[in-house]
Amino acid sequence: MTDQDVTIRNGVRALILTPEAEILMMRIRLDTNELIWILPGGGKEAGEDNATGLRRELREELGLLEFEIGPLVWRRRHTFNFFDCRYQQTEEYFVVHTHRFEPVMSDQVEVRVLDCFRWWKIEDLKRAQERLTPLRLAAIVEDYARHGAPTEVPFEVLVD
């Protein structure tokens, strides 16, 4: 694969937060067979704004239909492989407040890489030995819980 084979796209993800301060994550299996925890969301389709893309992604990945999109809390540029393709995705992470629910994935492509869902407490994120992404997820959640939305949204660059 060469640099010309990298697909550039924009994405949107949700930091889904319950009143009990639980965060929903998905564990997926990468092409390398490594398991990582990610926040729901993904690439936006042509013509989608952030809200439209996030609503579609959360419907496909979680079956979540009714929710309000909260503030932007994190941004990153992530270069990664997915199904034998290389992507460079610039992502924006928004808080979504909701009550705990049982996720149901309907996306037939992504169901092939999904290992499981889990609701995490902030303390569990801090102690996690498994790979979480964004890498600073525990700090992002803790900062939001203490101070609300950031006045300057942090930006991370990650290459896998």
pLDDT at 2: 53
Length, in residues, of the chain: 160
Contact, 54 vs 69, CB < 8 A? yes
Sorted by sequence, the CB contacts under 8 Å of residue 27 that are 6+ apart come out as 35, 36, 37, 38, 114, 115, 116, 117, 118, 130
**Looking at residue 115, what is its pLDDT?**
94
Domain residue ranges of the chain, discontinuous segments joined by +: 3-159
Per-residue model confidence (pLDDT) at position 54? 98
With tokens 């092409």, the residue in question is 31
CATH of 3-159, one of 3.40.120.10, 3.90.79.10, 3.30.70.270, 3.90.100.10: 3.90.79.10
Q: Hey, how many other C-beta atoms are within 10 angstroms of the C-beta on 111?
A: 11
DSSP conformational letter for 49: -
pLDDT score for 135: 87
**What's the pLDDT tens digit per position in 10-27?**
999 999 999 999 999 999
pLDDT tens figures, 105-133: 988 778 888 999 999 999 999 999 999 98
CB 140 within 8 A of CB 17: no
Name residue, tokens 């930006």. 155
C-alpha to C-alpha distance for 98 and 16, rounded to whole angstroms: 7
Identity of the residue numbered 147 = H
pTM: 0.91
Q: Are 18 and 119 in contact (CB under 8 A)?
A: yes
pLDDT score recorded for residue 91: 95
Q: Among 52-61, 91-100, 128-137, where is mean pLDDT lowest?
A: 128-137
What single-letter amino acid sits at 29? R
pLDDT at 95 over 90: yes
What pLDDT does residue 160 have? 80
pLDDT tops 70 at residue 98:
yes
Cα separation values, 113 from 29, 97, 105, Å: 5, 26, 11
Both tokens of 130, joined, read 């498994």
